[in-house]
Amino acid sequence: MKKIIATSDAPAAIGPYSQAIRSGDFLFCSGQIPLDPKSGQIVSDDIAAQTRRVLDNISGLLKSDGLSLGNVLKTTIFLTDLGNFQIVNEIYGSYFSSDPPARSTVQVSALPKGAKIEIEVIALANRSGAVASDTSG
């Protein structure tokens, strides 16, 4: 079973996709680019401002399903220039200050609407019964 998540706290989809999908205990968020949710426009050409907007958009999606950044298990960051990695990493770290999720970062040739960054996330939507164990032996 899947539930479509839609909120005005994040930009509307600009194509045939959902902002997020809840399936069982997981929330799968579509990649967010630095669009202002109200205007639908890229917020700035500055990578720092773009990164903050993307993470705020993700927070809005999570909040709409009663979640927070603390529920995020995995992120994938797409950058058009890995030279921006240090700036993105510092801002990202301020949003995920404790127990950060697993992460991948890749450079891509282009992103929609000329964005410099896109981030997608997978979040745990139900923490009850979640158990971690050390299997290292």
68-113 tens-digit pLDDT: 999 999 999 999 999 999 999 999 999 999 999 999 999 999 999 9
Residue 60's pLDDT is 96
- pLDDT tens digits, one per residue of 17-63: 999 999 999 999 999 999 999 999 999 999 999 999 999 999 999 99
In a domain, 130, yes or no: no
CATH, residue 94:
3.30.1330.40
Q: What's this model's pTM, rounded to 2 decimal places?
A: 0.90
pLDDT bin (cut points 50, 70, 90) of residue 116 is very high
Is 63 part of a structural domain of the chain? yes
Nearest to 61 by CA among 11, 3, 16, 112: 11
Per the domain annotation, does 67 fall within a domain? yes
Question: Is residue 74 within a helix (H) or strand (E), and if so which, with residue range?
Answer: strand 72-79
Q: How many domains does the chain fold into? A: 1
Whether residue 65 lies inside any domain: the answer is: yes
To which residue do tokens 């899947």 refer? 2
| Domain range for 56 | 3-124
